[in-house]
């Protein structure tokens, strides 16, 4: 039996006209992202982190969370989505337009999780928060019987009030509470965004090492800095972290090197850097003792810090799809031109992110767009802060 959800007045529904007034990609409550098919039927957040992805959806000004549709209707949209595969597709909840642990959002978080769990689904479910988590919340997470739930606690240590008004101590406390009470679910320290000159001091890095002891794994990543976010920085008079913007997250090479030096465990042959990962799906998979569902094993420079046990799991599961099979599937989704299977990834043209991720999660093998090549060693990261390489992979 699931733990009873504490009664709380549900969020008000947006009117049909208000939904129409939203951008189409915000009104559409199901979106495919690299770490999973994402369900976002609550929009609005008061936390005001300057770098929030909500800038990209023209929704940053909506501070009060509202429902786009009921939890029940949202679950039906998710499981009926063309890209949803029971027990296979990784899922995410409320990671685009709100925080799932805000007091007014939390009841919808647990109701949605329960509805999906009651369907007997065993999919990965990622819940990302920087807000307060209580022991009672942990009880509700532990009561889920089927979903493989991972709570990723966003902690940056940024103290600039204009960039991140939320005290990072809240996330640190939540991380410790979640880890202490973890039963069926797993907990990740989501150390992000790390920005040079803002939260990358030796003390900041040492704090992350300390907090990593309260998580099943740690992911570190840089700043997602698109033009919409940069415009907000300029309008708000905030110090701009980089001279330019980028399509991918920015993690300078020298900063990564300092982080790896701090986490390194001399003499530990099994986990030379501990459970530290560059990619979210790698950490999630490790925490559940499963192979990475994104197939990063084909990109060895991402795996050179991984625990040996995780490398073994991924090696056993990693297999290139048959060329005729992946070609037929890619063509059916709209790919144009040749479909090439390399020892690192499937290369396609003409496919947006959604169908690429659908293929990637179905095969556990990277699927890349030729128009946006992945540079060796910078795989999936912006070129800012890296020595130029000549080879595209």
Query: Rounded to two decimals, what is the model's pTM?
Result: 0.93
Can you state the percent helix, strand and coil of the chain, rounding each to 5? 35, 15, 50
- DSSP assignment of 350-363: S--HHHHHHHHHHH
Binned at pLDDT 50, 70 and 90, residue 235 comes out as very high
Q: What angle (nearest 5°) sits at the alpha carbon of residue 294, between those of residues 293 and 296?
A: 115
> Worst-scoring range by mean pLDDT, 10-14, 149-153, 262-266?
10-14
Beta sheet of 276-277, edge-to-edge order: 30-33, 36-39, 91-93, 124-129, 148-155, 186-191, 217-220, 276-277
Range ranked top by mean pLDDT from 23-27, 362-366, 381-385: 362-366
Say yes or no to pLDDT of 187 above 60: yes
Per-residue pLDDT reduced to its tens digit, 32-59: 988 899 999 999 999 999 999 999 888 8
Distance CA 99, CA 92 (A): 12
Over the stretch 244-260, which tens digit does the pLDDT of each residue have? 888 779 888 999 999 99
Give dist(CA 89, CA 49) in Å, integer.
29
Angle between helices 308-317 and 280-287 (to 10 degrees): 100
Residue 219 exposure: Cα atoms within 13 Å on the Cβ side: 24
For residue 166, the tally of other CB atoms under 10 A from its CB is: 18
CB 145 within 8 A of CB 119: no
Beta-carbon-side half-sphere exposure of residue 223 (alpha carbons within 13 Å): 30
**Burial label, 130 (beta-carbon count in 10 A; 0-12, 13-18, 19+):** buried
Task: Read off the tokens for 165.
Answer: 């008004």
Length of the chain: 393
Residue among 353, 356, 350 at smallest CA distance from 335? 350
Bridge partners of residue 336, in order along the sequence? 349
What is residue 82's three-state secondary structure? coil
């Amino acid at each position: 039996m699931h733990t009873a959800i504490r009664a709380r007045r549900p969020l008000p529904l947006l009117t049909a006209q208000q939904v129409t007034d939203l951008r189409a990609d915000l009104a559409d409550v199901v979106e495919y992202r690299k770490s999973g098919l994402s369900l976002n039927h609550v929009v609005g957040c008061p936390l005001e982190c300057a770098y929030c992805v909500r800038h990209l959806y023209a929704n940053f000004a909506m501070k009060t969370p509202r429902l786009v549709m009921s939890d029940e209707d949202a679950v039906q949209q998710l499981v009926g989505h063309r890209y949803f595969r029971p027990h296979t597709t990784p899922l995410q909840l409320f990671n685009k337009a709100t925080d799932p642990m805000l007091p007014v959002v939390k009841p919808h978080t647990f109701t949605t999780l329960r509805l999906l769990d009651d369907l007997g689904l065993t999919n990965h479910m990622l819940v990302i928060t920087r807000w307060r988590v209580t022991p009672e919340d942990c009880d509700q997470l532990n009561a889920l019987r089927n979903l493989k739930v991972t709570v990723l606690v966003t902690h940056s240590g940024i103290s600039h009030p204009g960039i991140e008004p939320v005290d990072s101590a809240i996330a640190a406390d939540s991380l410790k509470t979640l880890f202490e009470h973890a039963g069926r679910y797993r907990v990740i320290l989501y150390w992000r965004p790390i920005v040079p000159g803002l939260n990358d001091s030796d003390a900041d890095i040492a704090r992350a090492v300390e907090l990593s002891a309260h998580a099943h794994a740690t992911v570190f990543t840089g700043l997602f800095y698109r033009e919409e976010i940069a415009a907000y920085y300029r309008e708000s008079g905030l110090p701009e972290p980089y001279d330019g913007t980028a399509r991918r997250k920015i993690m300078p090479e020298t900063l990564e090197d300092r982080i790896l030096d701090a986490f390194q465990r001399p003499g530990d042959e099994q986990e030379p850097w501990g459970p530290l990962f560059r990619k979210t799906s790698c950490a999630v998979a490790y925490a559940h003792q499963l192979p990475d569902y994104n197939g990063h094993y084909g990109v060895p420079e991402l795996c050179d810090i991984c625990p040996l046990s995780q490398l073994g799991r991924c090696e056993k599961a990693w297999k290139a799809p048959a060329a005729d099979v992946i070609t037929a599937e890619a063509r059916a989704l709209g790919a144009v031109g040749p479909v090439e299977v390399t020892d690192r990834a499937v290369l396609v043209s003409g496919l947006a992110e959604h169908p690429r991720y659908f293929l990637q999660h179905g095969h556990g093998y990277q699927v890349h767009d030729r128009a946006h090549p992945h540079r060796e060693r910078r795989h999936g990261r912006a070129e800012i802060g890296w020595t130029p390489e000549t080879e595209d992979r």
